[in-house]
Amino acid sequence: MISASKDNMEGHNLAISAADISKAFIVPHERRDTLKEGFINLFRKRTYEHFRALDCVSFQLRPGEFLGIVGRNGSGKSTLLKILAGIYRADSGKLDIRGEIAPFLELGVGFQQELSARENIYLNGTLLGLTRKEIKARFDSIVDFAGVRNFIDLKIKNFSSGMRARLAFAIAKEADADIYLFDEIMAVGDEDFQQKCLNVFREWKDNGKTVVFVSHTPNLVEEFCNRAILLDGGKVVFDGTPGETITEYHRLIK
Amino acid sequence: MRNRKNLNIRIVRELVISEFKLRYQNSYLGYFWTLIKPMLLFGVIYLVFSVFMKSPVENYPVYLLLGILIWNFFAEATLIGMNTFMTKRDLVTKIYFSRATLIVASAFSSLITLLLNLVIFSVFMAISGIMPGAEALIFVIYLVELFLVATGVTFILAAMYIHFHDLQHIWEILLQIGFWLTPIIYPVTIVPSEYHRYIFLNPLARIIEYSRDIFIRHHVPSLYLNLILALMTIVIFCAGYAIFKTQEHKIAEKI
């Protein structure tokens, strides 16, 4: 309570505040990632190219906002998400995150094909930060949401991609984060699954949870998000309502 | 609010459990495969050095097997461990969690194999009529030291591996050289004594020799020797972890 009121006084009532985030990848013109190549070419001058994946990206996000990120391939969308999650470290800029940020970008990462759904729930849940006790307590709600009760001891490799997506989302929604990051989450799954996700998102919106959402599908951005930014060449070129941003995006790709 | 307490320990535990299940539960031959490599090596060396060359070492089978099992753990743990970011690439690039947990989990998985192999070793001891005394309990300390040395070395190798993808081949060669420079198949007494100090710069040589002392010779190495080994272990583990930490944030980008 004390910290919350302090935040308000300082005017920091933001879930994410990113200022001038830059990230460059050093791309050598020839790859030299073995010692052998390193020795052979020891005296040959190496040329590099700095690929600026993100160039002074700034944006602010209030709790409860759903931000869509659109842009062409290679525009820096995924890099931005990875920096938010902590997977990449930004070269420069200031990133302030208030609240618990979910550590994952994709669903079902680390699912083991040869293990049962039950075993995968424990493994995946732990990677997402849950304790065994918490997983046990939420086990039934995970299984019911995913609708896999009859297949719980079946190996994941025998699951259809839709079942796998449902299970993955069911675990992820229990991750207890304040801020969620999603990279192309709806690429799999049928309409029923998408509807279920939508319901969860609505619930989150009411509870003041924040979502950053990367998608190539304009419809989904318009449906889920209340704001969207357009990235191009690592820069934020537009920031507005989803409708405006998508119009801008279509203009860009023409 | 998410419970961050012991998160890394919980992740290591789950990773080890699933690795164990994958390796042993889903194939009845799982354990057999991990055992066959050290046992074949043992069989061949025993044949050559004991039957053909008449090794003068007393209780040679037990002596040899203990050395091979300890060495085999170190070789497997470092080779598999340095590669762990490649095999778990998906996790590394899509979830944020401490990367060190993957190294530690991999080392624990190798340790489980060693513990299973030590059951076979105890059968060998029983057949040879060697009864371990109370001093054999010190072996627990050597196991911990062995684990820490292997983990420390893996930290360094994994940190280098993200920059040099052929490091694995180089490390395999170095392991082969190390196998012959460590008193595994020969007694250290055949080495001229002026070289002993170099031989024992290798903590594995100490762990193997001291373990033989307590199991076979019923003799406890002096406190001084034990302290040197403990110091070596701590230095290797801490240096390895420190080096790894400087590279940890680059792993997701480089892999």
SS (H, E, C) B127-157: HHCCCCCHHHHHHHHHHHHHHHHHHHHHHHH
pLDDT at B233 > cutoff 50? yes
pLDDT at A8 > cutoff 50? no
Name the residue facing A86 among B4, B96, B165 (closest C-beta): B96
Answer for the pair B253, A88: CB distance below 8 angstroms, yes or no: yes
Three-class DSSP category at B81: helix
pLDDT band per the 50, 70, 90 thresholds, residue B255: confident
Distance in angstroms (rounded) separating the CA atoms of residues A247 and A230? 10
∠ Cα B196 B197 B198 (to 5°)? 90
Answer for the pair A32, A46: CB distance below 8 angstroms, yes or no: yes
Distance in angstroms (rounded) separating the CA atoms of residues B247 and B158? 9
pLDDT band per the 50, 70, 90 thresholds, residue A48: confident
Name the residue facing A34 among B11, B91, B165 (closest C-beta): B165
Q: Which has more pLDDT, A176 or A1?
A: A176
Structure tokens at A138: 């939420």
**Residue B50 has what pLDDT?**
85
Share of chain B above pLDDT 90, in %: 77
**What ipTM does the predicted assembly reach?**
0.87
Q: How far is CA B118 from the centre of its chain?
A: 13
**Residue B56 has what pLDDT?**
79
Answer for the pair B221, B135: CB distance below 8 angstroms, yes or no: no
**Residue A189 has what pLDDT?**
62
In Å, how far is A51's CA from the nearest CA of chain B? 13
**Residue A187 has what pLDDT?**
60
Average of pLDDT values for B135-146? 96
Contact assignment for B2 to A100 by CB distance below 8 Å: yes
Q: Which of A68-72, B50-54, B110-114, B125-129 has the lowest mean pLDDT?
A: B50-54
Sign of the C-alpha dihedral, residues A153, A159, A162, A168?
Answer: positive
pLDDT band per the 50, 70, 90 thresholds, residue A236: very high
Phi, psi of B26 (to 5 degrees): -90, -5
Answer for the pair A197, A186: CB distance below 8 angstroms, yes or no: yes
Beta-carbon count within 10 A of A47 CB: 8
In Å, how far is A182's CA from the nearest CA of chain B? 11
Taking alpha carbons only, the member of B62, B93, B33 closest to residue B250 is B93
What's the whole-number average pLDDT of chain A? 86
Distance in angstroms (rounded) separating the CA atoms of residues B104 and B209? 26
Answer for the pair B244, B156: CB distance below 8 angstroms, yes or no: yes
Distance in angstroms (rounded) separating the CA atoms of residues B208 and B202? 10
**Residue B200 has what pLDDT?**
95
pLDDT at B145 > cutoff 90? yes
Sheet strand arrangement including A16-28: A48-61, A16-28, A92-97
A123-174 confidence digits (pLDDT tens)? 999 999 999 999 999 999 999 999 999 999 999 999 998 889 899 999 999 9
B58-81 confidence digits (pLDDT tens)? 889 999 999 999 999 999 999 999
What is each CA distance from A35 to A216, B163, B167, B171, B212, in whole angstroms? 39, 9, 7, 12, 38
**Residue B203 has what pLDDT?**
97
In Å, how far is A225's CA from the nearest CA of chain B? 23
Contact assignment for B2 to A115 by CB distance below 8 Å: no
**Residue B32 has what pLDDT?**
80
Q: Strand A66-71 to strand A227-232: parallel, antiparallel, or no bridges (unpaired)?
A: parallel
pLDDT band per the 50, 70, 90 thresholds, residue A27: confident
Contact assignment for B18 to A105 by CB distance below 8 Å: no
Task: Mutate one of A27, A127, A130 to test the B interface: name it (highest B CB count within 10 A).
Answer: A127
The letter for the amino acid at B129 is: G
Average of pLDDT values for A70-82? 92
Provide the number of CB pairs (under 8 Å) joining chain A to chain B.
84
pLDDT at A9 > cutoff 70? no
**Residue A43 has what pLDDT?**
65
In Å, how far is B241's CA from the nearest CA of chain A? 19
Residues of B engaging A, defined by a Cβ cutoff of 8 Å:
1-4, 7, 10-11, 13-15, 17-18, 21-22, 26, 88, 90-97, 163-167, 170, 249, 252-253
Beta-carbon count within 10 A of A29 CB: 9
pLDDT at A29 > cutoff 90? no
Structure tokens at B20: 């164990």
Answer for the pair A90, A234: CB distance below 8 angstroms, yes or no: no
Beta-carbon count within 10 A of A235 CB: 16
- Provide DSSP, B140-206: HHHHHHHHHHHHHHHHHHHHHHTT-TTHHHHHHHHHHHHHHHSSSSS-GGGS-GGGHHHHTTSHHHH
pTM: predicted TM-score of the whole model, two decimal places = 0.89
